[in-house]
């Protein structure tokens, strides 16, 4: 399986595997030394491991960001001391396997995980190909022991895995990729588009990124499950959440719990003063934004979610707000879900916009209802009314089916449905994947991170 | 294991049944005069247009004819009337963005050259990029031969070409959804009379050539030779301000070894012409009638000079 993972990784840029090998080797040795030693030395080994792992991440992902900002600052101040950027291509899945490596050394340091002495098993933990490129970011306690277990093809595993893979692929090629072109047209030149198309494209992007990323996660979890491995859940119908806090318990779960366990709790968690709790929350989310991409748009996206959480925490002091969050009345639930979705969409505008200036144009145009005199983008007109209607219908169909299919793929309805009915549903999804899936050249959005 | 196989087979059968039913529905339902399938995405193409017309009008060739094969350059840049004036029967088997793979399949199955025919392979550098699926989809829907449609899908094994083929099978081929190209004359020729304002600042992107099209260039030449016909390669004129020298130079580096190996004549008019952007071009890719007159006269004269025609 390790060989398969290496081959998979080398499909992208073959020689980058050497960099991965070095970081794996450092963390593998560090893990053993941390477990063997006591006192201050353990901490030193931990920091050696963390710094070396983060250094690779910094060089490939963040160096150019700092250089660009430094150069801009120099330009502003009129000093001519510019530095040149590096011309590296980001190794695929770098942010994901870096975090997975970090969680290993930290867990060994904390004593929650024994150091792995088998180099091949540890390398497989970092490189396990279903989740190497875009997660879920696994914890050693969940996955390492599974590599020692004997796995044979079991009907339950194969069936559960294939169901997840079909649903994931459906979300990716039928929903996300079919609406990607609409979003791209608008976001490529937002200054030429009226507020209602900008708003629509922003809503569509919210659906696109969810289907794209959760689709990948489902396929990764499904592919591992077919082989008998169980990976952690990464999404749980996030747009059905009651609050921002709950949203983050349902969206990219492996990342949000990573930040909770390895950044938020070490900063004091909920045990510090309320002011510090809120400050830490804001900080953690801004850093989480920066993890996504080396650009201010991602930092602001993360910080915005941090701000939402701080406001939510403050409002939780009021009984009416708690009642609102807990209410089971249909109308309140509908208002809650709708409002939450709007807040999340505002965040996605920063996430998707190419530059901060673009995000500013989009937001100002939407909120001022500007550009109404601009005509429909040419590409939209070329799709025709039925072409556009088809894409919107797909989105509506998906939104209404997602909660049901999420549970179905997790075998929750197995006792209420027959095997044939379930087979019929998955056969329908598979037929739609072939027939109406978009089979052009569109990568997963999270591959860039 | 037995249960996995049984359920798997049942799943595949059910998927196939649902797929076929859905294909039937979306190809027999019309919305605003267009099959529902064609509203979904570009792998489903309408019946009609240039691809349909060139196949429909083709009556086969007689000896010593001239056949032009290639992209839209082929059907907009070679006027059968000019060739007729020089005693040559010419037919254009060009279609939108047709690449060498499609040309090969069309020459093998539909536009079969006869002994001593001259076949001009129009080489448009940009058709050597991409996967060509959009062009295949239009051809699969419209070619008169099922074998050719199946060959196109088989030689470019892709879920999209498979879908295109299924749509062709389930659609009503007699119902024409797209009219002929405006101004269509005969023998595949479709002139443009506009004049263009061509931006000199427009720059083509860096090429990313698909090597399988180079392989099919060689196959196409060999196929023509095997019919005892005479292949020659021609690159149609491009507006000079648009001609990215690097792009065409890289293209030449790619195809010249094949053309030299096969020992065929290559007449490259890409930027080797005296045509004027504003007078002789209809848009950034195509000549207008005035340009075609000059280009065809020059081509005929060069062909005579090289002893290709008398």
Query: What is the set of domains in chain B, with CATH numbers?
Result: 44-305 (3.40.50.1110)
Categorize the per-residue pLDDT at A448 as very low, low, confident or very high, splitting at 50, 70 and 90: low
Say how far apart CA B201 and CA B33 lie, in whole Å: 40
List, for residues B85-106, the tens digit of each pLDDT value.
Answer: 988 899 999 999 999 999 999 9
- The DSSP code for B47 is S
Residue A101 has pLDDT above 70, yes or no: yes
Cβ of residue A159 closer than 8 Å to a chain B Cβ: yes
Cβ of residue B45 closer than 8 Å to a chain A Cβ: no
Cβ of residue B156 closer than 8 Å to a chain A Cβ: no
Q: What's the mean pLDDT in A3-18? A: 82
**In whole angstroms, what separates CA A168 from the centre of its chain?**
14
* Spatial CA neighbour of B148 closest among B185, B117, B109, B111: B109
Say how far apart CA A51 and CA A67 lie, in whole Å: 20
* Spatial CA neighbour of A248 closest among A351, A340, A339, A349: A340
* Residues of chain A neighbouring B41 (CB-CB closer than 8 A): 178, 436, 438
List, for residues A337-375, the tens digit of each pLDDT value.
Answer: 899 999 999 999 999 999 999 999 999 999 988 877 777
List, for residues B137-151, the tens digit of each pLDDT value.
Answer: 999 999 988 999 999
**ipTM, two decimals:** 0.82
Residue A32: CB atoms within 10 A of its CB come to: 17
Residue B202 has pLDDT above 60, yes or no: no
Which pLDDT belongs to residue B14?
Answer: 94
Q: Residue-wise over A158-191: b if at least 16 C-beta within 10 A, else e?
A: bbbbbbbbbbbbbbbbbbbbbbbbbbebbbeebe
- Min mean pLDDT across A149-153, A206-210, A217-221 is at A149-153
Token pair of A164 as six digits: 């997840």
Residue B114 has pLDDT above 70, yes or no: yes
Q: Where are the alpha helices (DSSP H) in B114-244?
A: 133-142, 146-155, 159-170, 211-226
Residue A255 has pLDDT above 90, yes or no: yes
Phi, psi values for residue B110, rounded to 5° = -120, -65
Residue B274 has pLDDT above 60, yes or no: yes
Which among A155, A387, A427 is the nearest to B11, CB-wise? A427
The chain A residue lying nearest B34, using CA atoms, is: A386
List, for residues A318-332, the tens digit of each pLDDT value.
Answer: 888 888 888 888 888
Which pLDDT belongs to residue B79?
Answer: 94
Percent of chain B residues topping a pLDDT of 90: 55
Choice among A118, A145, A252, A292 that is catalytic: A292
Residue B63 has pLDDT above 60, yes or no: no
Residue B64 has pLDDT above 60, yes or no: no
Q: What's the mean pLDDT in A234-259? A: 92
Which pLDDT belongs to residue A70?
Answer: 83
Distances (CA, A) of A314 to A247, A286, A300, A307, B123: 17, 19, 21, 11, 68
The chain A residue lying nearest B36, using CA atoms, is: A386
Give residue B231's region: left, alpha or beta (phi > 0; psi -120 to 50): beta
Contact B127, B74 (CB under 8 A): no
Q: What's the mean pLDDT in B127-144? A: 90
* Spatial CA neighbour of B89 closest among B112, B110, B60, B109: B60
The chain B residue lying nearest A433, using CA atoms, is: B19
Which pLDDT belongs to residue B62?
Answer: 64
Enclosing H/E stretch for B231: strand B230-235
Categorize the per-residue pLDDT at B240 as very low, low, confident or very high, splitting at 50, 70 and 90: confident
Say how far apart CA B52 and CA A348 lie, in whole Å: 45
* Spatial CA neighbour of A173 closest among A370, A417, A434: A434
Contact A379, A391 (CB under 8 A): no
Token pair of A262 as six digits: 């390895």
Residue A376 has pLDDT above 80, yes or no: no
Give me the residue label for tokens 């595997």.
A17
Per-residue HEC secondary structure of chain A comes to CHHHHHHHHHCCCCCHHHHHHHHHHHHHHHHHHHHHCCCHHHHHHHHHHHHHHHHHHHHHHHHHHHHHHHHHHHHHHCCCCCCCCCCCCCCCCHHHHHHHHHHHHHHHHHCCCCCCCCHHHHHHHHHCHHHHCCCCCCCHHHHHHHHCCCCCCCHHHHHHHHHHHHHHHHHHHHHHHHHHHHHHHHHHCHHHCCHHHHHHHHHHHHHHHHHHHHHHHHHHHHHHHHCCCCCCCCCCCHHHCCCHHHHHHHCCHHHHHHHHHHHHCCCCCCCCCHHHHHHHHHHHHHHHHHHHCCCHHHHHHHHHHHHHHHHHHHHCCCHHHHHHHHCCCHHHHHHHHHHHHHHHHHHHHHHHCCCHHHHHHHHHHHHCCCCCCCCCCHHHHHHHHHHHHHHHHHHHHHHHHHHHHHHHHCCCCCCCCCHHHHHHHHHHHHHHHHHHCCCCCCCCHHHHC
Contact B19 A431 (CB under 8 A): yes
List, for residues A391-401, the tens digit of each pLDDT value.
Answer: 888 899 898 88
- Min mean pLDDT across A269-273, B144-148, B165-169, B215-219 is at A269-273
Cβ of residue B161 closer than 8 Å to a chain A Cβ: no
Distances (CA, A) of B151 to A41, A117, B47, B147: 68, 55, 19, 6
Which pLDDT belongs to residue A172?
Answer: 93
Say how far apart CA A165 and CA B165 lie, in whole Å: 26
How many CA atoms are closer than 13 Å to the CA of A113, on its beta-carbon side? 24
Token pair of A377 as six digits: 């983008």
Q: What's the mean pLDDT in B110-132? A: 90
For this structure, is A292 an active site residue? yes
- The DSSP code for B86 is T
Residue A244 has pLDDT above 70, yes or no: yes
Categorize the per-residue pLDDT at A67 as very low, low, confident or very high, splitting at 50, 70 and 90: confident
Contact A290, A302 (CB under 8 A): yes
Using CB atoms and an 8 Å cut-off, which of residues 165-204 of chain A contact chain B? Answer: 178
Which pLDDT belongs to residue A422?
Answer: 86
Contact A187, A358 (CB under 8 A): yes
Cβ of residue A390 closer than 8 Å to a chain B Cβ: yes
Cβ of residue B248 closer than 8 Å to a chain A Cβ: no
Categorize the per-residue pLDDT at A410 as very low, low, confident or very high, splitting at 50, 70 and 90: confident
Which pLDDT belongs to residue A449?
Answer: 62
Token pair of A224 as six digits: 């591992």
Contact A423 B10 (CB under 8 A): yes
Which pLDDT belongs to residue A161?
Answer: 93
The whole-chain average pLDDT of chain A stands at 88
Cβ of residue B31 closer than 8 Å to a chain A Cβ: yes
Strands, sheet with B118-122, edge to edge from the N-terminal-most edge strand: B90-94, B66-70, B118-122, B230-235, B266-268
Categorize the per-residue pLDDT at B131 as very low, low, confident or very high, splitting at 50, 70 and 90: confident
Which pLDDT belongs to residue B32?
Answer: 84
Which pLDDT belongs to residue A432?
Answer: 94
Give me the residue label for tokens 């009651």.
A242
Which pLDDT belongs to residue A226?
Answer: 93
Which pLDDT belongs to residue B123?
Answer: 95
* Spatial CA neighbour of A363 closest among A374, A373, A375, A351: A351
Say how far apart CA A191 and CA A416 lie, in whole Å: 51
B275, exposed or middle or buried, with CB in 10 Å at 0-12, 13-18, 19+?
Answer: buried
The answer to whether the pTM exceeds 0.90 is no
List, for residues B34-62, the tens digit of each pLDDT value.
Answer: 888 888 887 888 889 999 999 988 887 66
Q: What's the mean pLDDT in A31-57? A: 89
Say how far apart CA B220 and CA B107 lie, in whole Å: 8
Contact A428 B39 (CB under 8 A): no
Token pair of A44 as six digits: 């030193």
Phi, psi values for residue B293, rounded to 5° = -55, -50
Residue B65 has pLDDT above 90, yes or no: no
Residue B244 has pLDDT above 70, yes or no: no
* Residues of chain A neighbouring B14 (CB-CB closer than 8 A): 423-424, 427
Distances (CA, A) of A61 to A95, A282, A293, B7: 9, 22, 8, 45
Categorize the per-residue pLDDT at A203 as very low, low, confident or very high, splitting at 50, 70 and 90: very high
Percent of chain A residues topping a pLDDT of 70: 98
Contact A384 B32 (CB under 8 A): yes
Q: What's the mean pLDDT in B276-296? A: 89
């Amino acid at each position: 399986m390790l060989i398969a993972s290496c081959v998979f990784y080398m499909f992208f840029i073959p020689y980058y595997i050497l960099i991965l090998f070095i970081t794996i080797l450092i963390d593998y040795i560090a893990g053993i030394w941390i477990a063997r030693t006591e006192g201050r030395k353990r901490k030193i080994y931990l920091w050696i491991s963390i710094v070396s792992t983060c250094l690779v991440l910094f060089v490939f992902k963040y160096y150019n960001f700092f250089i660009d900002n430094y150069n801009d600052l120099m330009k502003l101040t009129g000093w001519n001391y510019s530095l040149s950027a590096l011309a590296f291509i980001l190794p695929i899945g770098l942010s994901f396997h870096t975090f997975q490596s970090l969680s290993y050394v930290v867990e060994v340091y904390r004593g929650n995980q024994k150091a792995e002495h088998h180099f091949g098993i540890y390398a497989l933990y970092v490189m396990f190909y279903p989740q190497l490129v875009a997660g879920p970011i696994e914890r050693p306690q969940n996955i390492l022991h599974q590599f020692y277990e004997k796995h044979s093809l079991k009907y339950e595993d194969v069936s559960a895995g294939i169901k997840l893979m079909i649903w994931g692929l459906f979300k990716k090629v039928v929903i996300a990729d079919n609406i990607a072109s609409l979003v791209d047209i608008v976001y490529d030149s937002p200054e030429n588009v009226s507020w209602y198309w900008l708003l629509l494209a922003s809503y569509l992007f919210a659906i696109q990124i969810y289907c794209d990323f959760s689709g990948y996660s489902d396929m990764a979890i499904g592919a591992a499950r077919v082989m008998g491995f169980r990976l952690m859940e990464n999404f749980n119908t996030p747009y059905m959440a009651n609050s921002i806090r709950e949203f983050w318990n349902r969206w990219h779960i492996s990342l949000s719990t990573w930040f909770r366990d390895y950044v938020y709790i070490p900063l004091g968690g909920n045990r510090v003063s309320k002011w510090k709790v809120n400050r830490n929350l804001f900080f953690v989310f801004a850093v989480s934004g920066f993890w996504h991409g080396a650009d201010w748009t991602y930092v602001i996206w993360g910080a915005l979610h941090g701000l939402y959480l701080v406001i939510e925490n403050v409002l939780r002091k009021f009984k009416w707000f708690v009642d609102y969050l807990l209410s089971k009345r249909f109308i309140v639930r509908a208002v809650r879900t709708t409002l939450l979705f709007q807040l999340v969409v505002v965040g996605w505008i920063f996430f998707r916009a190419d530059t901060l200036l673009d995000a500013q144009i989009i937001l100002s145009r939407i909120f001022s209802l500007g550009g109404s005199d601009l005509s429909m983008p040419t590409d939209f007109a070329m799709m025709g009314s039925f072409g556009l209607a088809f894409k919107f219908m797909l989105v509506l169909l998906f939104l209404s089916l997602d909660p049901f299919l999420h549970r179905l793929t997790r075998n929750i309805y197995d006792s209420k449905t027959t095997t044939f009915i379930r087979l019929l549903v998955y056969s329908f999804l598979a037929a739609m994947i072939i027939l109406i899936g978009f089979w052009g050249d569109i990568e997963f959005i999270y591959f860039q991170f | 294991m037995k249960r996995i196989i049984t359920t798997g087979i049942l799943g595949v059968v059910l998927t196939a049944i649902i797929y076929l039913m859905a294909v039937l529905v979306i190809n027999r339902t019309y919305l605003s005069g267009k099959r529902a399938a064609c509203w979904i995405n570009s792998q489903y193409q309408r019946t009609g247009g240039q691809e349909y017309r060139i196949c429909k009008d083709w009556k086969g060739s007689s000896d010593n004819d001239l056949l032009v094969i290639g992209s839209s350059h082929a059907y907009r840049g070679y006027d059968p009337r000019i060739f007729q004036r020089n005693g040559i029967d010419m037919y254009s088997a060009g279609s939108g963005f047709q690449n060498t793979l499609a040309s090969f399949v069309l020459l093998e199955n539909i536009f079969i050259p006869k002994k001593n025919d001259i076949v001009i392979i129009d080489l448009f550098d940009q058709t050597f990029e991409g996967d060509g699926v959009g062009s295949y989809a239009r051809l699969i829907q419209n070619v008169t031969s099922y074998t050719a449609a199946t060959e196109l899908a088989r030689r470019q094994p892709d879920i999209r070409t498979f879908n295109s083929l299924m749509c062709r099978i389930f659609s009503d081929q007699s119902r024409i959804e797209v009219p002929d190209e405006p101004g269509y004359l005969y023998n595949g020729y479709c002139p443009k009379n506009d004049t263009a304002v061509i931006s000199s600042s427009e720059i083509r992107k860096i090429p990313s050539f698909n090597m399988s099209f180079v392989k099919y260039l060689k196959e196409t030449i060999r196929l023509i030779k095997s019919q005892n016909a005479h292949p020659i390669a021609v690159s149609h004129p491009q507006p000079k301000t648009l001609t990215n020298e690097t792009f065409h130079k890289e293209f030449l580096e790619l195809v010249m070894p094949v053309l030299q190996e096969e020992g065929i004549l290559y007449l490259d008019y890409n930027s080797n012409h005296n045509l004027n952007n504003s007078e002789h071009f209809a848009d950034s890719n195509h000549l207008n009638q005035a340009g075609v007159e000059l280009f065809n006269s020059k081509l005929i004269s060069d062909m005579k000079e090289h002893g290709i025609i008398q």
